[in-house]
Amino acid sequence: MISREVCARVLAKAVSTGADYAEIFAEYTVNHAITMISDKVDSVNDGVIAGAGIRVFKGLRSVSASTVDTSEAGLLRCAEKAADALGQGTAAISVNLRERLFGDIHPVKIVPSTVANAEKVAVLKEGYFAAKEYSDCIKQVTGTLLDVDHNILIASTDGVYAQDRQIRTRITVSAVAEKNGEAQTGFFGPGRRMGMEMFEHEVNAHDVGIKAAEQAVIMAGAGYCPAGVMPVAIGNGFGGVIFHEACGHSLEASSVAYGLSQFAGKLGQQIANPKVTAIDDGTIPNAWGSINIDDEGTPAQKKILIENGVLKTYMVDKFNGRRMGMESTGSARRQNYSYTTTSRMTNTFIAEGPDSNDDIIASMEYGLFAKSMGGGSVNPATGEFNFAVNEGYLVRNGKICEPVRGASLVGKGSDVIMDIDMVGKQLDLGTGMCGASSGSIPTTVGEPLIRVSKITVGGR
Amino acid sequence: MMNFNEFKRLVIDSAESLGIKDYELYYATSESTDVGTFKHEINEFSSSVDGGVCFRCLINGKMGYASTELLSAEEAERIVKSAAENAATLESEEEQFLVAGGQEYKTVEKKEYALPETAELVKTALDVDAALYAADPLVIDGSQGGAGVYTNRVAIYNSKGLDLSCENSSAYYLAAAVVSKDGEMSDSYEMQLGSLKDADIAKTVKKAVDDAKAMLNADVAPTGAYPVVFAPRAMSSLLAVYSSVFSSENAQKGLSRLSGREGEKIASDIVTITDDPFYKDSALPMSFDAEGSPTYTKNVVEKGVLKTLLYNLKTANVAGVKTTGNASKGGYSAAVGIRPFTFYIAPGSLSEEELFKKAGKGVYITELGGLHAGANAVSGDFSLQSSGFMIEDGKKTDKAVKSFTVAGNFYSLLNQITALSDTVEKPRSGGSTAFLSPTVLVEGLTVAGK
């Protein structure tokens, strides 16, 4: 990629009008995706993303510029554009880059870009046909095998000169089941920060297909979820999206630094039920949302966000950290060079608690067991969030009863996080993509089975 | 770094040396400059350039794709080789096509205006910022003025003589209002596309601030089945999510319930839905689609009857009809799919007040949230986070409600529409796809709140 000497010259240009910080983020990414539908390989997406983003700060002002031209001349032009936009002034800092080597805590054994299409198709077909052949009710299946080889280089006037190679692999299967003229869907899509060895011991493609098909078939036979306020037990794994939406986004510096968070100014305060301990950990080996360094070159960290209900820290990037008087927590992330970095989550989950799954379900006289969750969203300022239930069951007299479909859960983050009053013992993680101002990035959500004592269930 | 024409030459050479006869190059770039304020200062400025080239080729009837952002000699060779390899991996048997050159395209009429320089963007953003704070004492820090300008370019070149390009630029400004009272925050934002010279900043800011204030200390709506009146913004966002059910690709793959229903009644008599690539206020009117076919205006639903689905060349061939010129690409590197242009529910003749009167007692929904999660395009089921106002005694009240859901099924909803207002809105999208709706009264939906 770009040499230390070139980076130093580009950074010197970037700070030439008086910036107190400048940074280059350059990338070379190979995306690959094979999609199947109607029992056939339908498309192969194969692309290279390459470019660079340059940011300069002066106090609390930030300027960013991006370019697809990563030659020295192209980078210098981009740096000049950023420097000019910052205004008039003269350079006050000298650039001295020191190469930093970070141990790779996410080793990759089989680099996907070196694996032939045919081999990937074989894995995809295993998952695809497991779903298709699961039941006569399964009318359509879509399956995708995708891999990303994301090479990044970050150089900044802090002296950082660091590179990382982030390889990710994911399989997704979506199944459609029909019963009585109505169609319902099921989905499962695990991924890891690893290569094709993911299919050797971490993820069984066949099981992925079965899981998606099973969900579609169960839901196709289900009645509508009733509406109203009730206790809800949310299953482990992707169920952790409740924390991601209801609380996680409101702990990102991108909202906290501007006061646009229900949790701004609440460090050290009890913001959640004492049963809740929540962690953002970018260092989990080979997890989907893991990084070695963030997109500003800061090493990944494990942060306890909330400990026994007390707010311990936020997720902070360098720019927003200036406004908050806080150091970066290794949380700066961006989809690619053309987005402006901001603070984001990595692998974020509610830690194990003391309650058994049986006790949690038994505690509910009438409520909903949300076994599998879909995506959601939140407004961090007001805390209002929503997320969809992909597979739900009614609970009566402490027993899991019939499946119900078509529900979403809504509420206010600061309320619901207080109402998580039971936390189970088996933590599991789920794979997702999170969209925000700096683009779509891989994140993990997670939790054990939890109970929310009351929440609005959007049924009908 | 080489330019597109130099790169194109190398790709053509590379394709011909491999004996590839049918191929296409699709090139898209976008440039943008955006500024935003915080506490009366410009705190963020960004200038971004991105885009790339997609090469696709027909080999043994299969269309292989490969793309790149790096315009180099090595990449010119790689994408041709990769596309050919990818074609060999494909199994689907639907016939694939490239558009021949020499077709007639309608002329696009656009209002041209001089694009603002950075200084004008900065001034507009600061003016909006000042207007926000001046609008109301409840406005707090975190409110933001913003402005920007962008230029998108698309070019399609193929081995059958097609050589098309278009360029589109627009400016915009936005007002994001945050208000606070008794420790509770509420926010709202408005964006306006078009020349900054015509900007009515005071009006835009007032709307954002008023909408944010109206939601302060909103209550949770009571659970029940009510008539629901959807504001244009809410209904157009629902239409956007469910526009995929009008795709012939989805219908042919069993992912839309409208499969095989062309010519049948699928909605109330009063519902007409039109797709117009030349919509007068569109930010990006298009005379050709992503395959290079000419575009035209059509009613997809007319007086409740499904007249046509949306087609590209491949799906039209499967159905034995002509393409409707709705081929699309979700980004330069994506495979050709299907999407509408300006897709709108035609306005009716009633005023909004008359809709409230017809509803009697119900809920007026001004905003829907979580559409990417709470709306399932295959089943049609939706359960969506909502906010708005109660309707009582045939009038919209100032009782704001939020944190509740509205649930139903889109396919049923089309038949549950009982009245449409005469409201005509301007597209809020900066791209070629936009969704519009009047205010719509729907009977028989369920509201879940407290």
Contact A244, A345 (CB under 8 A): yes
Contact B341, A425 (CB under 8 A): no
Q: Please report where in the chains the tokens 């315009």 appear, as a residue.
A: B71
Please give the residue of chain B at the shortest CA–CA distance from A65: B47
**pLDDT given at position B384:** 96
More confident residue, A89 or B372: B372
Give the integer Cα–Cα distance in Å for A421 and A355: 10
With beta carbons under 8 A apart, name residues in chain B contacting A376: 370, 373
Q: Does A406 lie at the interface with B, CB-CB under 8 angstroms? A: yes
Give the integer Cα–Cα distance in Å for A266 and A255: 13
**pLDDT given at position B2:** 86
The radius of gyration computed from the CA coordinates of chain B, to the nearest angstrom, equals: 24
Q: Examine residue B417 and state whether it is found in any structural domain, yes or no.
A: yes
> How is residue A51 written in tokens?
């470019």
Cβ of B360: how many Cβ atoms within 10 Å? Answer: 13
Where, residue-wise, is CATH 3.30.2290.10 in chain A? 112-149+167-222
Contact A317, A437 (CB under 8 A): no
Residue B406 shares a structural domain with residue B374 = yes
Contact A384 B92 (CB under 8 A): no
Residue B285 shares a structural domain with residue B356 = yes
Least CB–CB distance from A408: residue in B67, B378, B405: B405
**pLDDT given at position A96:** 86
Residue B309 shares a structural domain with residue B414 = yes
Residue B278 shares a structural domain with residue B415 = yes
Contacts of residue B425, defined as CB under 8 A and 6 or more positions apart, other chains included, come to B232, B233, B236, B436, B437, B438
**Which amino acid would we find at residue A371?**
K
Residue B189 shares a structural domain with residue B260 = no
Residue B197 shares a structural domain with residue B251 = no
> How is residue B80 written in tokens?
């041709």
Give the integer Cα–Cα distance in Å for A384 and A247: 10
Residue B288 shares a structural domain with residue B373 = yes
Portion of chain B with pLDDT greater than 90, in percent: 92
> Is the alpha carbon torsion for A399, A400, A404, A410 positive or negative?
positive
Q: What is the ipTM of this complex?
A: 0.93
Residues A237-248 as b/e (b if ≥16 CB within 10 A, e otherwise) read bbbbbbbbbbbb
Q: What are phi and psi of B152, to 5 degrees?
A: -115, 140
Give the model confidence (pLDDT) of B326-342 as tens digits: 999 989 999 999 999 99
pTM: 0.95
Q: Please report where in the chains the tokens 């910022």 appear, as a residue.
A: B129
> How is residue B282 written in tokens?
């569109």
What are the C-alpha distances in Å from A338 to residues A34, A64, A289, A334, B33? Answer: 25, 9, 20, 9, 12
Q: Examine residue B45 and state whether it is found in any structural domain, yes or no.
A: no
Q: Does A445 lie at the interface with B, CB-CB under 8 angstroms? A: no
Give the integer Cα–Cα distance in Å for A250 and A261: 5
Contact A459 B44 (CB under 8 A): no
Tell which of B179, B214, B249 closes a domain: B214
Q: Does A50 lie at the interface with B, CB-CB under 8 angstroms? A: yes
Contact B92, B4 (CB under 8 A): no
CA distance B302 to chain A (A): 25
Please give the residue of chain A at the shortest CA–CA distance from B48: A66
CA distance B223 to chain A (A): 6
- Residue B325 — left, alpha, or beta (φ > 0 → left; ψ -120 to 50 → alpha)? left
Q: Write out chain A's pLDDT in tens, 460 residues.
A: 899 999 999 999 999 999 999 999 999 999 999 999 999 999 999 999 999 999 999 999 999 999 999 999 999 999 999 999 988 788 778 888 888 877 789 999 999 999 999 999 999 999 999 999 999 999 999 999 999 999 999 999 999 999 999 999 999 999 999 998 889 999 999 999 999 999 998 999 999 999 999 999 999 989 999 999 999 999 999 999 999 999 999 999 999 999 999 999 999 999 999 999 999 999 999 999 999 999 999 999 999 999 999 999 999 999 999 999 999 999 999 999 999 999 999 999 999 999 999 999 999 999 999 999 999 999 999 999 999 999 999 999 999 999 999 889 999 999 999 999 999 999 999 999 999 999 999 999 999 999 999 999 999 8
Best of A68, A256, A455 to substitute, by most chain B Cβ atoms within 10 angstroms, is A68
Residue-by-residue DSSP string for A104-134: -SS--SS-GGGS-HHHHHHHHHHHHHHHHTS
Half-sphere exposure of A401 (CA within 13 A, CB side): 13
Contact B370 A182 (CB under 8 A): no
> CA end-to-end span of chain A, whole Å?
56
Residue B197 shares a structural domain with residue B257 = no
The radius of gyration computed from the CA coordinates of chain A, to the nearest angstrom, equals: 23
With beta carbons under 8 A apart, name residues in chain A contacting B408: 460
Domain extent, residue B277, equals 224-448
Q: Does A221 lie at the interface with B, CB-CB under 8 angstroms? A: no
Contact B142 A258 (CB under 8 A): yes
**pLDDT given at position A373:** 94
Tell which of B195, B214, B233 closes a domain: B214
**B50 falls in which pLDDT band (50, 70, 90)?**
confident
Q: Which residues, listed in sequence order, are joined to residue B395 by a DSSP beta bridge?
A: B392
Contact A62 B44 (CB under 8 A): yes
Mean pLDDT estimate for chain A: 95
Residue B236 shares a structural domain with residue B343 = yes
Least CB–CB distance from B48: residue in A28, A229, A338: A338
The DSSP bridge pattern shows strands B62-68 and A40-58 to be: parallel
Best of A44, A140, A372, A416 to substitute, by most chain B Cβ atoms within 10 angstroms, is A44
Please give the residue of chain B at the shortest CA–CA distance from A39: B92
Cβ of B93: how many Cβ atoms within 10 Å? Answer: 9
Contact A377 B402 (CB under 8 A): no
**pLDDT given at position A406:** 86
Give the integer Cα–Cα distance in Å for A381 and B224: 28
Tell which residue, A153, A158, A152, has the closest CA to residue A22: A158
Tell which residue, B161, B108, B48, B152, has the closest CA to residue B286: B108
Give the integer Cα–Cα distance in Å for B158 and B73: 19
With beta carbons under 8 A apart, name residues in chain B contacting A337: 50
Give the model confidence (pLDDT) of A219-253 as tens digits: 998 999 999 999 999 999 999 999 999 999 999 99
CATH number for A112-149+167-222 (one of 3.20.20.370, 3.20.20.10, 3.30.2290.10, 3.10.20.340): it is: 3.30.2290.10
Tell which of B158, B185, B214 closes a domain: B214
Residue B134 shares a structural domain with residue B244 = no
**pLDDT given at position A10:** 97
> Is the alpha carbon torsion for B310, B313, B318, B324 positive or negative?
positive
Contact B46 A63 (CB under 8 A): yes
**Which amino acid would we find at residue B16?**
E
CA distance B92 to chain A (A): 5
What's the total number of domains in chain B?
Answer: 2
Cβ of A225: how many Cβ atoms within 10 Å? Answer: 26
Give the integer Cα–Cα distance in Å for A75 and B417: 55
Residue B243 shares a structural domain with residue B389 = yes
Residue B175 shares a structural domain with residue B233 = no
Which residues 331-370 of A are in CB contact (within 8 Å) with B? 336-340
Least CB–CB distance from B372: residue in A81, A375, A406: A375
**pLDDT given at position A91:** 76
**B429 falls in which pLDDT band (50, 70, 90)?**
confident
**B441 falls in which pLDDT band (50, 70, 90)?**
very high
Contact B1 A66 (CB under 8 A): no
Contacts of residue A385, defined as CB under 8 A and 6 or more positions apart, other chains included, come to A245, A246, A376, A377, A378, A379, A410, A411, A412, A413, A416, B385
**pLDDT given at position B1:** 75
